[in-house]
Structures are given as structure tokens and as C-alpha cells.
Chains A and B, each alone.
Chain A
Amino acid sequence: MKPKAAFYWCASCGGCEEAVLDLAEGVLDVVAAVDIVFWPVALDFKAKDVEGMEDGAIDISFVNGAVRTGHQLEMARLLRRKSRLVVAFGACAQLGGIPGLANLTTAREILCEVYGEDGPRREFRENGHTLTLPELFDSVYPLNRAIPVDYFVPGCPPSPKIVADALQTLLSGVLPEPGTVLAPDRAMCDECPRRDSHPDELQFDCFHRVQERVLDTGACILAQGVPCLGPATRAGCGARCISGNMPCTGCFGPTSHVRDYGAKALCSIASVIGASDADEIDRMFENIVDPVGTFYRYSLPSSFLERKRLE
């Protein structure tokens, strides 16, 4: 009998769902290999179908997206209860992802921005029924801050190869250690097509924003003065951005020896600039206009500080 699988999305863009389909014909093998019992995006299931199941009835749930509403939290907890394994699928579920940058503001600020001072109505009645908007939390959380997570599949979105490998590993029966990130434990440079152009003595006199210059397609992007986070980021993506002549922005998150991705990346980049006097240094950093967005683009909620300080 085939293992039962569930797919669910929380705060995400849908890209992770696409990522599954990106397996192209490979998706058929998945369908063949597992018995999909829940996949709101693709198939017509309802939450109550899941509620109806016995605890642990689902062999493996793939949850993508971060957690930032009461409803997402509820679903996460439900799936946790019903599943033997829960996999955080994609950057948002693993690290908080792009939505995680909302942690620079608060729910109230966002609602005011969109709905004006008094915000949206939480409740309203429609022929006898009362509809209630789920609570919007102040902060975005990675999945493992909501529920215990067994495995992580990194990436925004996870590359087909990563997904395929992950599925294979998980279905193979021989499971890796709980908490494992299902991608190589090396930095991205390792698979970068331009790694040979990486200079011995890295040093910068100024940083450029990627839109400011035409990047040499043959040379290490970091060496061209554009913050490329390849050295800090876990491999497994196949250096897709680099192939597109764009710097790595870190969607695969840190390697296993780094606790706070952005802090480490910042620490590393700052170390290799040429200046030694404070003003000169500040001048060099002027072009890093948005440090949080630069170093924590996908990982703010899973960083030590997690969010902007709440007054």
C-alpha cells in the first residue's frame, strides 16, 4: 500500500506548489509513488477531510509557506497531529522567506496601510452565517516555530533536483537524522560555474547594487563588487541565479554550522572591505542601502532577533 502524502501551503506565493509541478513528467512518478490525501491547490479536499483522519494517518506532509495567521497555525497543528512526518518545504516554511520581511513592521501598520486607520472588519454576517477573518499575527514565523518539523527542503523555490532527491530520500525508507536539511551541506560557490574566477585576495573599495552595473558573465560576481551571498548559502540550487547573471541572495539558507544566516553573511562581507577608518568604511557601506533586505532576504524570522523590535 502506497504511503499517504499531503501538500499544504501557508503564507507563500505559490511558487513552491509550482516547484512540485516543475518536476514535469517526474510528477507522475510522485503521483504513482504516493497516495495524495490532501492538496488544496490541486485537488478538491477540505480541512474537515483531514480532521476526519486518525492521528498519524498521513505518512508525510509537505507544508510550504510561513505561518502568520491563526488559520495557518491551526492547519499546521492539524497536519502535525495527523502526520508521521512533516517536511517544511521551501524557504518560507524553513526560514520565513520573503514574507518574513514583514517582521520589519507590525500587523497594525500593515492593516492601516491597506485598509486605513480602523483596519478591516474582522467579522461579518451573511444570511445567518458569521464569517471571521483569522488573526493576523505581528510576526511571520517559520514552520518550526509553530510545530515540530522533521525535515527541511530549502529554496525559493526548491529546485526540481532538490525536490526529486528529497522525495526519493524520504520514500526510500532509510530516513536521515531528524531536523536534516535535505540539500548538500556546503556553500553554493562549490557548484558555481564561475568559482575558478574567484580571486585569492578578496577586497572591495566599494559595493555596487546589481542594477548599477553590467556584470561580466564570466567572472565571480562578488569579486565584481556586487554582494553575492554564494559563499554563505547552502548549495543545491545548481547556481541558477548565477547562470542568470544575478548574484545569489541566499534562498537556500545557511550551512549546518551557521546559526544566523544574515549575521554570518554580513560578518563575512564586512570583513573583506578595503577601508580602515570609520568614515571611509561608512562610505563603502552606503550602497548597502537595506542591510536587512540584503542579508536576511529569506531568513529574518529564523534569525536570532526574529523581527524588528516591538516598541
Chain B
Amino acid sequence: MPEEFEPKIVAFFCNWCTYLAADLAGTSRIKYAPNAEVVRVMCSGRVDVQFVLKAFAKGADGVLIGGCHPGDCHYQEGNYKALRRYRLLQRLLRQMGIEEERLRLEWISAAEGDRVRVVIDEMVETLRRLGPLHKSEALMEVA
């Protein structure tokens, strides 16, 4: 019986809302799946589309971007920039044969510790269903 596939998620959390929410989940001892690893950025607006694709290319099965709720951005509107990039990127990923569930943008405020659990557990669940994201194998070794 093969062991269950453990998806790997790279999570970009904004410093002021979602990262704090993740800290709150910790101080509240809320338990969730260990499959997501967080890269802290100051604002979801800092998340370059390159980062997302890099993560997918390097073997992430899913990417999660966490920012402040619309209107609540610590930097006024960085989260809207994130939203715009996310929507266009989803269109591109579709063409590249990557299911949209693999990239998730979530608004999680500093108060929503439990939301971190819900989102990550849900995402792990979905990714288990979707299975690993295989990047095409390198055809040849570069000498």
C-alpha cells in the first residue's frame, strides 16, 4: 500500500495580516497540516508572478498567497495589485495545464487564526485529490 501523497505548498504571507494570523493560529495552538511553508513578504503586493512560477517549477504542488482583506491593506492597496496579477496568472496557468486550485489567493486578517487552518487544510485536501504537479522532465543533461 503506497503511502499517501504529501503535497508541498509554498505560502507567501503578508507581514501585517496573514503572517500574524498564522502566528495567532500558533499562540492559539490550532493544529493544521504541515504541508505549507511560509515565505514572509511585507505585502501581498510584493509577490512577483516570477515567485509563483518558480515555486511550481521547483516542485511545489500548490502556491498560497495570503493578504489583508480588501480595504484593509496595511499599505492601502497592495492587495489589489496582488488580486489583479492573480486573476491574469490564473488565465495563463490554465493554458499551461495547471489546475486553478493549485494557486490560491486568500484574504486573512490578523484576527483570523482559524482561517489559516481552514485554508491550508482545505488546500492540502484538494492537492491530494489533484495529485502531484509534475514538471516536464529535463530532456538532457547540460554538460
Give residues in A with beta carbon < 8 Å to B: 73, 77, 80, 104, 137-139, 141, 144-148, 258-260, 262-264, 266-267, 269-271, 273, 275-276, 278, 281-282, 285, 288, 290-292, 295, 303-311
Contacts and interface: CB of A to CB of B under 8 A. Distances in A.
Given A260-B54, A266-B89, A304-B56, 18 more contacts: A80-B143, A104-B95, A139-B136, A145-B140, A147-B143, A148-B142, A264-B50, A266-B88, A270-B87, A281-B88, A285-B88, A291-B88, A291-B95, A304-B50, A305-B57, A306-B136, A309-B97, A309-B136
B96 interface: yes
A271 B133 CA distance: 27
B98 interface: yes
Contacts of A258: 50
Interface stretch (B9-17, B19-27, B77-85): B77-85
A306 B135 contact: yes
Contact of B133 (A270, A275, A308, A309): A309
Given A266-B49, A266-B89, A276 B139 contact: no
Given A263-B48, A267-B48, A276 B87 contact: no
A106 to B, nearest CB: 10
A147 B84 CA distance: 38
B120 to A, nearest CB: 22
A304 B57 contact: yes
A292 B92 contact: yes
Contacts of A104: 95-96
What 3 A-B pairs have minimum CB-CB distances, sorted nearest first? A309-B97, A304-B57, A267-B49
Interface in B43-84: 48-50, 52-54, 56-57, 70, 77, 80-81, 83-84
A97 to B, nearest CB: 17
A304 B139 contact: no
B8 to A, nearest CB: 16
Contacts of A273: 84
A281 B92 contact: no
Given A146-B140, A292-B92, A309 B98 contact: yes
22 contacts: A80-B143, A147-B142, A147-B143, A148-B143, A258-B50, A262-B92, A264-B48, A267-B49, A278-B83, A281-B87, A282-B87, A285-B91, A291-B88, A292-B95, A303-B53, A305-B96, A306-B136, A307-B136, A308-B96, A309-B133, A310-B136, A311-B97
Contact of B96 (A137, A141, A292): A292
A281 B89 CA distance: 12
B31 interface: no
Contacts of A144: 142
- Select the residue from B95, B97, B136, B142 with max chain A CB neighbours within 10 A: B136
B87 A285 contact: yes
Contact of B50 (A73, A267, A285, A288): A267
Contacts of B96: 104, 292, 305, 307-309
